[in-house]
A and B are shown apart, each in its own frame.
Chain A
Amino acid sequence: MSGMTEQRARIYWRRNLALILRILAIWFVVSFGFGIVLVDVLNHVQIYGYKLGFWFAQQGSIYVFVALIFYYARRMAALDREFDVDGDEGP
Chain B
Amino acid sequence: MDLQGLTYLFVGTSFALYVGIAFLSRAGSTRDFYVASSRVHPVANGMATAADWMSAASFISMAGLIAFMGYGGSIFLMGWTGGYVILAMLLAPYLRKYGKFTVPEFIADRFYSNSARMVSVLCLIVCSITYVIGQMKGVGVAFSRFLEVEYEIGLLAGMGVVFVYAVMGGMKGITYTQIAQYCILILAYTIPAVFVSLSLTGNPIPQLGLGASMQGSDTYLLDKLDQIVRDLGFHEYTTDVRLSSLNMFAYTMSLMIGTAGLPHVIIRFFTVPKVRDARSSAGWALVFIAILYTTAPAVAGMARLNLAQTMEPAPGEHLLYEERPQWFRNWEKTGLLRFEDKNADGRIQYNADIQRNEMVKIDNDIMVLANPEIAGLPNWVIALVAAGGLAAALSTAAGLLLALAASVSHDLLKCMISPRITERQELWTSRAAMAAAISLAGYLGLDPPDFAAGTVALAFGLAASSIFPALMMGIFSKRVTQEGAVAGMIAGLSVTLLYVFQHKGIMFSASTSFLGPMPPNWFLGIEPNAFGVIGAMVNFAVAFGVSRFTPPPPDRICNLVEDIRIPVGTIERE
Q: Residue of B at shortest CB range from A47?
A: B211
Chain B 72-118 residues near chain A, CB threshold 8 A = 73-74, 77-78, 81-82, 84-85, 88-90, 93, 97, 99
B93 surroundings in chain A (CB, below 8 A): 76
A49→B252 contact, CB < 8 A:
no
Cα-based distance from A16 to B85 in the complex (angstroms): 15
B223→A86 contact, CB < 8 A:
no
Which of B77, B245, B273, B570 has a CB less than 8 Å from the CB of A58? Answer: B77
Assess whether B222 is interfacial by the CB under 8 Å rule. Answer: yes
A37→B88 contact, CB < 8 A:
no
0 or 1 for each of B258-281: is its CB under 8 Å from A? (1 = yes): 000000000000000111100110
B74→A90 contact, CB < 8 A:
no
Chain B at the A interface: mostly helix, strand, loop or mixed? helix
B252→A32 contact, CB < 8 A:
yes
Most buried by A among B77, B85, B213: B85
A90→B275 contact, CB < 8 A:
yes
Chain A 26-83 residues near chain B, CB threshold 8 A = 27, 31-32, 35-37, 39-40, 43, 47-51, 54-55, 57-59, 61-63, 65-66, 68-70, 72-73, 76-77, 80, 83
Which of B273, B276, B286, B566 has a CB less than 8 Å from the CB of A12? Answer: B566
Assess whether B149 is interfacial by the CB under 8 Å rule. Answer: no
A62 surroundings in chain B (CB, below 8 A): 77-78, 81, 286, 290, 293-294
Interface size on A, residues (CB 8 A): 52
Q: Closest CB of chain B to A35's CB: distance in Å?
A: 6
B222 surroundings in chain A (CB, below 8 A): 49-51, 54
B286→A69 contact, CB < 8 A:
yes
Most buried by B among A63, A88, A90: A90
B85→A27 contact, CB < 8 A:
yes
Q: Closest CB of chain A to B439's CB: distance in Å?
A: 35
Cα-based distance from A55 to B85 in the complex (angstroms): 20
A3→B570 contact, CB < 8 A:
yes
Interface residues of B (CB under 8 A from A): 66, 71, 73-74, 77-78, 81-82, 84-85, 88-90, 93, 97, 99, 207, 210-213, 220-223, 238-239, 245, 248-249, 252-253, 273-276, 279-280, 282-283, 286-287, 290, 293-294, 297, 562, 565-573
Given contacts A55-B211, A89-B568, 20 further A-B contacts (CB under 8 A): A4-B571, A5-B572, A13-B566, A24-B85, A31-B78, A48-B213, A48-B220, A49-B213, A54-B222, A57-B74, A61-B77, A61-B81, A62-B77, A65-B290, A69-B286, A73-B282, A86-B276, A87-B568, A89-B569, A90-B97
